[in-house]
A and B are shown apart, each in its own frame.
Chain A
Amino acid sequence: MTAKHSSCRAIEPDLVATATGDAAPGAEVRVQEHVATCPPCRDEMERYRSIDRLVGEMRRAPVLGDRADMVRGDLEYRLAELRRKAVSARVWQSPLGPMLIAKSEQGVVLVEYLDSERGVAASRALRRAGIEVLADETETEAFYQQILEYLAGERTRLAWPLDFRLAGSDFQREVLQVTAALPYGAVTSYARLAREIGRPTATRAVAQALRHNPLPIVVPCHRVVGGTGALVGYAGNKLGLKERLLSLEGVPIAQVRKERQIVRDHMYVRADHDTAYCLPTCGALPTLPLWRLTLFGSRDRAESAGLGPCSDCRPDLHPISA
């Protein structure tokens, strides 16, 4: 190419932009002024106009061997699979600390207490399960609102569709299902749950299954205690949360030697599958082991669970004094 005058070189970007319909504001006037007095640049501009027309042709020309439809078909198949497997998750700020809620198309998959604010990536449960997480701001919001109401004592039921895909085994799934049926304000023991599922010797396994409960609060494993009434364990090392949830439901708790325990003789009692609830002193109740009992913090709670007052001890006439 021949050497250009410096003013021609300087205006070249604007000239190209003007010729190709892309001039920045103000540039076009400068270019017109320049080409009015510079025939070589006027020719250049015409050439660029021709090139732009060629490029315009490209825009209108179909892509050769266009397989967009077929590719989209494959994509839809992969998306359907992703939808089925993936969960929507978000970390919410709750009174119990950062809390991750994840849901699938089937139901709530995971409620996880997080130690850090690092967001969904901090979820060990999802990472370990290798579940793909979709960023989501709103999908779990309704559940979060219900948790807030629950923790404020304004709600006693979380009637959520549940997805037990994080249950590690059929056994754990069964334990979670039985636990999910425990009514608000009731307390029972691991040993009793083991008997409920027909595995009376599996107390420890039941405790293990609940230790790894993927759905705390909704599947109320906090309502399950050890054989002595000690709170024993919750979500790893979060015994304080267990006590908080039980207190919210009106369950009395006290320090007994080195342990936090439910105060059995301040609670109403249901023996086995009785349809009535009793005072803790009724008949042989004080001598029965915890695995035969379900305990309630108040008469309201026992009656909400569908029980009537015992006709012998009449807890309705002689309530436990606080």
Chain B
Amino acid sequence: MGREPFEAVMTAHHAEIYRYLRRVTFRSADAEDLSQETFLRAFRAYRGLPPDANVRAWLFAIATNLFRNSLRSAKRRRAAHDTVKGKGREDEGAEPENAARFNEARVTVEAVIDRLPVKQRAAFIMRKVHELPYEEIAKSLECSPDSARAHVFQAFRKIRISLDAAQLPSAEGSA
């Protein structure tokens, strides 16, 4: 009663959930399947959702769950692993005039993110790209808000370490 129609939920959140999945998965086909499955699942449960629920965070939780389940399947894990080790992200297209160190650094950052353990990667992207509060990230990952915070910290640390190794931007270089 009084809840907005599911179409409105799609309009408000579909693109964002799809893009979130594009960022955490390695293959666009996975993101497409998972985003469809997220919304089909959400549609099935939507009318049973408490009226005060945060729909956006709820969708992120469903998407994250589906994503993690998809990785648990051994076959997929192997496929994802191969992709990372091999050719990297399939959509890493040629960017013109990408000589700037800034872009190089960004590529490094993305490569590090791709290699993060699943929970760190998901927590990092939910927090830093989609700006979800830690309480909601914690629900998605079935952990405490402190653990969610620790995942993001670990992700930053790893990025910092690899940028250091690659002699990439120091404090002044990148602004």
Q: Which residues of A contact B (CB under 8 A)?
A: 1, 12-13, 16-17, 20, 22, 24, 43-44, 46-55, 57-59, 63-68, 71-72, 74-76, 78-79, 82, 86, 88, 132, 134-139
Contact = CB atoms under 8 A, between A and B. Distances in A.
Given A1-B161, A22-B127, A55-B129, 4 more contacts: A49-B171, A63-B22, A74-B36, A134-B46
B150 A55 contact: no
Given A1-B164, A55-B109, A55-B128, A75 B171 contact: no
Contacts of B48: 135-137
B175 interface: yes
B160 A48 contact: yes
Contacts of A13: 149-150, 153
Contacts of B150: 13
Which 8 pairs between the two chains have the least Cβ-Cβ distance? Answer: A46-B171, A135-B48, A64-B91, A68-B15, A50-B174, A136-B47, A68-B18, A65-B91
A66 B22 contact: yes
Interface stretch (B37-45, B55-63, B70-78): B37-45
Given A16-B156, A43-B171, A49-B171, A54 B106 contact: yes
Does more than half of chain A's interface fall in helix, strand or loop, or is it mixed?
Answer: helix
B23 interface: yes
B44 A135 contact: yes
Given A55-B109, A58-B106, A78 B128 contact: no
B59 to A, nearest CB: 13
Nearest to B103: A57
Does more than half of chain B's interface fall in helix, strand or loop, or is it mixed?
Answer: helix
10 contacts: A13-B150, A22-B127, A50-B171, A54-B109, A57-B106, A66-B19, A71-B36, A79-B40, A82-B43, A134-B47
B159 A51 contact: yes
Contacts of A16: 153, 156-157
B14 interface: yes
B131 to A, nearest CB: 8
A134 B43 contact: yes
B19 A82 contact: no
Contacts of A88: 47
B28 interface: yes
Interface in B106-153: 106, 109-110, 127-129, 131, 149-150, 152-153
Contact of B36 (A17, A47, A57, A78): A78
B69 interface: no
Contacts of B149: 13, 17, 22, 24
Contacts of A86: 44
A54 B93 CA distance: 19
B49 to A, nearest CB: 9
B18 A50 contact: no
Contact of A17 (B153, B163, B175): B153
B64 interface: no
Contacts of A72: 10, 14-15, 18
Nearest to A43: B171
B113 to A, nearest CB: 8
Given A13-B150, A64-B91, A74-B36, A79 B22 contact: no
A79 B39 contact: yes
A141 to B, nearest CB: 9
Contacts of B174: 50, 53-54
A49 to B, nearest CB: 7
B171 A47 contact: yes
Nearest to B157: A16
Contacts of A20: 128, 156
Nearest to B14: A72
Given A50-B175, A71-B36, A72-B14, A64 B163 contact: no
B99 interface: no
B105 interface: yes
B175 A51 contact: no
B20 to A, nearest CB: 9
A79 B43 contact: yes
Given A51-B159, A75-B14, A63 B19 contact: yes
A84 to B, nearest CB: 13
Contacts of A78: 36, 40
A201 to B, nearest CB: 45
Nearest to A79: B43
